[in-house]
Structure 1
Amino acid sequence: MSRTIVAAAAQLGPIARLDTRKAVVERLIALLGEAASRGAELVVFPELTLTTFFPRWHMTDPDEIDAFYETEMPGPDTRPLFETARRLKIGFYLGYAELAVENGVKHRYNTAILVDRNGEIVGTYRKIHLPGWDRPQPGRTAQHLEKYYFEPGNLGFKVFETMGTRIGMAICNDRRWPETYRVMALKGSEMILVGYNTPDDHTGHFDFDSLTQFHNQLSLQAGAYQNSNWVIATAKAGHEEGSNLIGQSMIVAPSGQIVAMATSTADEVIVAKCDLDMAALYRKTIFDFARHREPEAYRLIVETRGPVSD
């Protein structure tokens, strides 16, 4: 008998700057309940689930900035989500802005947590591939300042054994980098969970931005297929504070096939039964890493950050 897990991507429509955490969490609880009613055992929420995508603005007031970050998880506003998940016996992935104090020093991360069916946090990931800039760019109506608001994650790409499978996590821009999937696949992941907020105007070049949805599908399908993993990818979507977020949440099989995709840019749940042994099949054939990989030929990947000449 094959091993299966019913997974859901719980897409969120736009969140306004003035929306409260309480109001957002109420939406999450409604999505969690719908997913559970459709048999889901694991739900994936988007990147920065609890707030609007605030890196589109350049803020300088520390108090204004701090208001977008969580200092504890769960906190007073998010605890009802954990309690609901525990009651429904459903696990979830949640992305948020984290304000952490480590060795007496304040740090800001773009973070995701993995919560099991008992409502307990079993894994934490901090976004490694931060896109955008560390200062405002002249002539742009919408900024992309993740490097200004966050520092690169310091936890690496871990795999967590929970809920009958082995799960890795990534956030938004991570999904575009093949190293993201490969590291977790080498650690034995069977599922990779991804939350994202992706606008269709992030570069300002029409020829590039017009392919945003295609690039989203391409990166998720390639990552799933080339690493024999299920990928559950969930978006924040819709017209949010002047920015068009693409949505297109999807569940991708280890074959690279899309088995479910959101059809709106609103709050929406998509569900699929994921055959975990499908990942094993691909690892015994095309992507038998131990038999076919040649790491000596790839050393340049980890020895330099940018292009080099032979």
Structure 2
Amino acid sequence: MKVALIQQKFHGSKEATNQRTIELIREAAEGGAELVVCQELHQTQYFCQSEDTKFFDLANEWEEDVKFWGHVAKQKGVVLVTSLFEKRADGLYHNTAFVYEKDGSIAGKYRKMHIPDDPGFYEKFYFTPGDLGFEPIETSVGKLGLLVCWDQWYPEAARLMALRGAKILIYPTAIGWFESDSSEEKSRQLEAWVAVQRGHAVANGLPVVSVNRVGFEEDDSGVMDGIKFWGNSFVFGAQGEELFRADSESEECYIVDVDMKRSEEVRRIWPFLRDRRIDEYQNLTKRFID
């Protein structure tokens, strides 16, 4: 299957950014991609660098946004993964990924489960934790194990998607460096991010796709020094083999061939799911084993 990764930057406004996204999706469709994956919160700036109630207004048009991207998916004839700011009710918001079929219909949605609260990533102020569980989304290109950004650090999330029959793990992402960090610390953070997701591919015998944004975005409040999003979108195969890795600067549509049948071959020689000691894992549901 040809999978397109849309790695891009914020272009100063929702309208300009969406237009650029559509151009890249068109490139993907023309290049034969069947599945197109956008980055986390791809319509706007990453507004979680500070806590400001004005940013809740970015979700006011979320229902129109859902229809808009469904139209794009239908027009381009692709299965499309988007990432939107969902207003569920007054004062109740989610970081939600919507998946569209090639005919523009909604195949399903996933509400981000793990919500960070770190300096520069104040997402708990904006997002309620997801309540839809770790349920793969059935599409014409297979069952998509869709997770979002902070979810990527948790092997439990990847495992539960795999156990429910996901054929591929997908992570729309927004993560980057603070310029005040040393070059050594930046390298450690980036490689840890890549390594943990590569581990999900190996442990579950599934391909993994992660799509991150690029570009520098200032903190509107002036408290933080802004984030330089590190790109490096990638695809790993079912045995952890690197199929593709982008750089940290380019805004591109990357099309990658993913062998969706390889999981069966890998799981036959590495039957990790078979050998799990499920009778001994009860304590995994505890916060900590005192």
- TM-score scaled by length of structure 2: 0.90
The alpha-carbon deviation at position 85 of structure 1 amounts to 2.2
Distance 2:289 2:182 in 1: 27
How large is the Cα RMSD of the aligned pairs?
A: 2.1
Out of 241, 265, 276, which is 2:260 matched to?
A: 276
Partner in structure 2 of residue 131 of structure 1: 116
Partner in structure 1 of residue 289 of structure 2: 308
Distance 1:175 1:160 in 2: 17
Out of 233, 249, 252, which is 1:265 matched to?
A: 249
The alpha-carbon deviation at position 221 of structure 1 amounts to 0.7
Out of 149, 170, 181, which is 2:126 matched to?
A: 149
Per-residue deviation, residues 234-277 of structure 1 (Å, max 9, x unmatched): 01112122311111011111111120121242321111121111
The alpha-carbon deviation at position 108 of structure 1 amounts to 1.0
Distance 2:66 2:8 in 1: 16
SS in 2 for 1:197: coil
Task: Structure 1: state its 5+ residue gaps.
Answer: 134-141
Counterpart code for 2:158: Y
Distance 2:133 2:66 in 1: 25
Partner in structure 1 of residue 83 of structure 2: 95
Partner in structure 2 of residue 255 of structure 1: 239
**CA, structure 1 residues 246+188, in 2 after alignment: closer, same or farther (shift >3 Å)?**
same
Is 1:184 the counterpart of 2:154? The answer is: no
Distance 1:265 1:29 in 2: 19
Out of 248, 271, 278, which is 1:287 matched to?
A: 271
The number of aligned residues is 283
Query: Could you tell me whether the CA contact under 8 Å between 1:89 and 1:118 is conserved in 2?
Result: yes
Query: Could you tell me whether the CA contact under 8 Å between 1:40 and 1:271 is conserved in 2?
Result: yes
Partner in structure 1 of residue 171 of structure 2: 194
The alpha-carbon deviation at position 22 of structure 1 amounts to 1.8
Counterpart code for 2:59: Y
Query: Could you tell me whether the CA contact under 8 Å between 2:14 and 2:44 is conserved in 1?
Result: yes
Query: Could you tell me whether the CA contact under 8 Å between 2:234 and 2:245 is conserved in 1?
Result: yes
Between stretches 153-162 and 278-287, larger displacement belongs to 278-287
Task: Structure 2: state its 5+ residue gaps.
Answer: 219-225
Query: Could you tell me whether the CA contact under 8 Å between 1:93 and 1:193 is conserved in 2?
Result: no
**CA, structure 1 residues 20+238, in 2 after alignment: closer, same or farther (shift >3 Å)?**
closer
Distance 1:204 1:155 in 2: 36
**CA, structure 1 residues 205+97, in 2 after alignment: closer, same or farther (shift >3 Å)?**
farther
Is 1:299 the counterpart of 2:282? The answer is: yes
Distance 1:108 1:205 in 2: 35
Per-residue deviation, residues 214-237 of structure 1 (Å, max 9, x unmatched): 012102211111111111110111
The alpha-carbon deviation at position 164 of structure 1 amounts to 3.3
The alpha-carbon deviation at position 203 of structure 1 amounts to 11
The alpha-carbon deviation at position 84 of structure 1 amounts to 3.1
Is 1:72 the counterpart of 2:55? The answer is: no
Distance 2:88 2:263 in 1: 35
Partner in structure 1 of residue 222 of structure 2: none
Between stretches 82-91 and 244-253, larger displacement belongs to 82-91
Query: Could you tell me whether the CA contact under 8 Å between 1:47 and 1:195 is conserved in 2?
Result: yes
**CA, structure 1 residues 31+193, in 2 after alignment: closer, same or farther (shift >3 Å)?**
same
- TM-score scaled by length of structure 1: 0.85
Distance 1:80 1:98 in 2: 14
Out of 94, 109, 114, which is 1:109 matched to?
A: 94
Between stretches 256-265 and 183-192, larger displacement belongs to 256-265
Query: Could you tell me whether the CA contact under 8 Å between 2:158 and 2:200 is conserved in 1?
Result: yes
Per-residue deviation, residues 19-38 of structure 1 (Å, max 9, x unmatched): 33221211111010111121
Is 1:53 the counterpart of 2:83? The answer is: no
Out of 1, 4, 8, which is 2:4 matched to?
A: 8
Is 1:84 the counterpart of 2:42? The answer is: no
Per-residue deviation, residues 114-167 of structure 1 (Å, max 9, x unmatched): 11111111111111111125xxxxxxxx63211111111111111122123111
Query: Could you tell me whether the CA contact under 8 Å between 1:9 and 1:251 is conserved in 2?
Result: no
The alpha-carbon deviation at position 78 of structure 1 amounts to 6.2
Query: Could you tell me whether the CA contact under 8 Å between 1:190 and 1:228 is conserved in 2?
Result: no
Query: Could you tell me whether the CA contact under 8 Å between 1:246 and 1:265 is conserved in 2?
Result: yes
Counterpart code for 1:181: A
**CA, structure 1 residues 70+167, in 2 after alignment: closer, same or farther (shift >3 Å)?**
farther
Query: Could you tell me whether the CA contact under 8 Å between 1:8 and 1:232 is conserved in 2?
Result: no
Out of 115, 121, 126, which is 2:106 matched to?
A: 121
